[in-house]
Amino acid sequence: MLSRRSDAGFTLVELLIVVVILGVVVAPVANAVIVSIRNTDATSARLAVSHDAQQSAAFFAQDVAAVGLRDYSGSVGSGQVPYSPSIQLGAGYGSGGQVCGTAATPVSLVRLLSDDWDTSTPAATRRTAIVAYYLTGTELHRLRCLDSATLSDSIVAHNVDPATPAVTCSSACTAAAVPLWVKLTFTAVARNADPYPITLFGQRRQT
């Protein structure tokens, strides 16, 4: 006997139904994957901005705590040496004769000056410590110098909106009477994340 070929298989209608069902199933899954990726990117961006905020806040609080440059050129009243202006706003690298950086260093948002005593020798030597916060593009830098020698220049925050930084003090920032506290505010604008306002605050330790 001759064997009969089977004509069993999928009809065109059945194939169309399968395609439609696959479309119904795949569309929500693909959408869920896309949303998940977007959420992951946004979360990563928020975490990066949050890390910058914590890092820069810690540095700024430390720097403001030490601010205060004594003026030994005049008379001492009530047993205390008066201060010189110790905070500079919009200062160049050599502002007020205090050099920190080079001619290529951008104008700072704020520079904080303080005394640093070298006690490695019997006769202690006074040096001037300078910390400058400045922007290059959207990056906030912290530049540290001792007299005119640069100790470090590091990025402490990214994605800064250059139009937003502002410095405020408890009293006149640039006066000889050193303010009790200093605040630097700005907004970080990272891709895939909402604008993130950041406040750096420091309170002076010296009296």
Structure tokens at 13: 């209608």
Instruction: Report DSSP state, residue 69.
Output: E
Q: How do residues 179-201 score in pLDDT, each as one tens digit?
A: 999 999 999 987 777 888 999 99
Structure tokens at 91: 């200062």
Q: How do residues 8-49 score in pLDDT, each as one tens digit?
A: 666 777 777 877 777 777 666 656 555 555 555 566 777 777
Domain ranges of the chain: 42-203
What pTM was computed for the model?
0.78
In this predicted structure, the answer to whether residue 79 has a pLDDT above a threshold of 80 is no
164 and 187 Cβ atoms separated by less than 8 Å: yes
